[in-house]
Amino acid sequence: MTNMNFFAVDLGATSGRTILGSIVDGKLEQRELTRFPNNIIEVGGHFFWDIYALYNEIIRGLKVVADEKVEIASIGIDTWGCDFVFVGKDGGVLRNPYCYRDPHTDGAMEEYFKLVSKEKVYEKTGIQFMQFNSLFQLSTLRRNHDSAMEGAEKILFIPDALMYMLTGEAVCEYTVLSTSQMLNPRTKRIDSDLIAPIGLEESQFGRYVNPSEQVGALTPEVQKMTGLGAVPVVAVAGHDTGAAVAAVPAMNERFAYLSCGTWSLLGIETKDAIINDKSFEYNFTNEGGIEGTTRFLKNICGMWLLERSRKEFKNAPANVNDLNKSAMEAPAFRSFIFPDASDFANPASMIDAIRTYCKTTGQPVPETHQEIARCIFESLAMRYRQVLGYLKELAPFPIERLHVIGGGTYNQYLMQFAANSIGLPVLTGPVEGTAIGNIMLQAKAAGVVKDMFEMRSIIAESIEMKTYEPADTEAWDAAYERYLAVTNTK
């Protein structure tokens, strides 16, 4: 097996990294080169991403590679989904992109359903309804006569936009497109019936590319800035969850996965989209995976709850592991929240939002950081059980275990809570699943590995996994009934 180096850009909703990865003697090795914040810009009553800052951070990482005289075979970029950049006729970026947390899409779905029915949108896309899906963002901007949209020649999702800035090639990568609620999974193309009512055409989204397909090479401008040559840029799974699921070290299909970070994404991997009355009722999504697979999943609010709360805690441990441990000092099953309630989307104060929810639902109000953190962890574990129950109804195979990937695996208490709650073994790792999936898809493009089975075999040999077995299940079963009653869900 040839030793080759790959440069991965992994951008999340709060931070980003550049990573150098290689496969040596059948095992994956990786090294973080740079890490940086991904700040939301608040101006004029709106929230934006700084696409130029992200581009500059990619350039900075590439300069490190050049300074170290490391030869890289390719570059791959993964990011969050749904958001996009407008590019004008002269090829320039027209404005920093809106952040999906911007409130301008409040009520956007209902406005769009005046043009196309909710049932038709789901039948065509099989995508979970969330107000920040690209379709509803674009509909909102059109309704508001947004000047950048009106001047747009191309609309590029965030990973596509960054590849465009590096190569000059305008493409539309399959996995990130699949998050938009514009892709028809049967045709593998944008559905014109959905975008025509808001005045858009398929040609505005660039040529379609799939994971492990070369997009282009670094432009002469970027080569000069970085000191590198015409390095190929490869479309990986541009949506970070797609890259993360590609890194799940599963040996057969009988598993569910949980990508646990700012968001929790819980689902299964299937050959075909699952679009029926039950998936519509439960609001599940069918997103594109690697090698033609479908990621059938549901978005759940994740560690965003704790990330935001930590900023307000007083006298709490600064180290997140110590903070997680301190949560075990609080009484069990005292208060629950529904993690996906709109109350927690982007409140001015997360602590106040949690306390208000508990007070309104007649529960003890968590006061200390220990009580708030424990409330978050137990509520997430209960929500995992709830969504996994839906998956068991819909999956075409039995689910025997839960693979958890992402930074949330560092929280051993949440992982044990998850096992206790769902009553199945929880296997954790890799932690940096998104970056690993990014690297392995570049390796596939280079011919180093042939398919996802070989990718996953190498990953399994390269990481340490930990298994959490269910415990105290009777107490968790009883608490789950309370959770359902308090949250008024089923």
**For 7-27, what is each residue's pLDDT tens digit?**
999 999 889 999 999 999 889
Query: Mean pLDDT across the stretch 28-35?
Result: 96
Where is the domain boundary, 241, 261, 284? 241
Average pLDDT taken over every residue of the chain = 96
Cα gap 287→337, rounded to integer Å: 27
Give start and end residues of each alpha helix (H) in 178-267: 192-195, 220-226, 240-246
Query: Mean pLDDT across the stretch 256-272?
Result: 94
Phi and psi of 61, rounded to 5°? -65, -40
Query: Is residue 126, in this structure, part of any structural domain at all?
Result: yes
Pair (10, 142) in one structural domain: yes
Residues in the chain: 490
Q: What pLDDT is stored for residue 3 in this prediction?
A: 80
At 482, which helix (H) or strand (E)?
Answer: helix 473-487
Query: Is residue 9, in this structure, part of any structural domain at all?
Result: yes
Pair (119, 170) in one structural domain: yes
Where is the domain boundary, 241, 267, 284? 241
Query: Mean pLDDT across the stretch 356-366?
Result: 98
Query: Is residue 445, in this structure, part of any structural domain at all?
Result: no
Pair (255, 212) in one structural domain: no
Asked if 472 is an active-site residue, the reply is no
Phi-psi group of 79: left, alpha or beta (phi > 0 → left; psi -120 to 50 → alpha; rest → beta): beta
Domain range enclosing 51 = 5-241
Greatest alpha-carbon span in the chain: 64
Cα gap 182→269, rounded to integer Å: 21
Query: Is residue 439, in this structure, part of any structural domain at all?
Result: no
Phi and psi of 125, rounded to 5°? -115, -30
- Three-state DSSP state, 412: helix
Pair (360, 257) in one structural domain: yes
- Three-state DSSP state, 175: helix
Cα gap 134→352, rounded to integer Å: 30
232-235/74-78 β-pairing = parallel
Task: Band the pLDDT of 1: cuts 50, 70, 90.
Answer: very low
Query: Is residue 435, in this structure, part of any structural domain at all?
Result: no
Q: Provide the 10 A C-beta neighbour count for residue 42.
A: 11
Q: Kindly report, residue by residue over 191-245, the tens digit of the pLDDT.
A: 999 999 999 999 999 999 999 999 999 999 999 999 999 999 999 999 999 999 9
Pair (136, 230) in one structural domain: yes
Q: What pLDDT is stored for residue 2 in this prediction?
A: 58
Pair (471, 382) in one structural domain: yes
Where is the domain boundary, 241, 269, 288? 241
Please give the full DSSP string across 345-378, using - where no structure is assigned: SS-S-HHHHHHHHHHHTT-PPP-SHHHHHHHHHH
More confident residue, 479 or 433: 479
Pair (135, 233) in one structural domain: yes
Cα gap 385→456, rounded to integer Å: 26
Query: Is residue 370, in this structure, part of any structural domain at all?
Result: yes
Query: Is residue 459, in this structure, part of any structural domain at all?
Result: yes
Pair (256, 233) in one structural domain: no
Residue of 78, 83, 102, 240 marked active site:
240
Considering only CA atoms, which of 6, 2, 4 is closest in space to residue 435?
6
Strand partners, 29: 22
Tally helices (H) and strands (E) across the chain: 19, 21
Domain containing 355 — which CATH number?
3.30.420.40
Q: Kindly report, residue by residue over 146-157, the tens digit of the pLDDT.
A: 999 999 999 999
Pair (487, 470) in one structural domain: yes
Query: Is residue 269, in this structure, part of any structural domain at all?
Result: yes
Pair (348, 413) in one structural domain: yes
Pair (326, 226) in one structural domain: no
Task: Band the pLDDT of 490: cuts 50, 70, 90.
Answer: confident
Q: What pLDDT is stored for residue 432 in this prediction?
A: 86
Pair (231, 277) in one structural domain: no
Task: Band the pLDDT of 161: cuts 50, 70, 90.
Answer: very high
The tally of domains found in the chain comes to 2
Cα gap 305→345, rounded to integer Å: 9
DSSP at 239: B
Could you tell me which residues come within 8 angstroms of residue 395 by beta carbon, excluding any fewer than 6 positions away?
256, 268, 270, 296
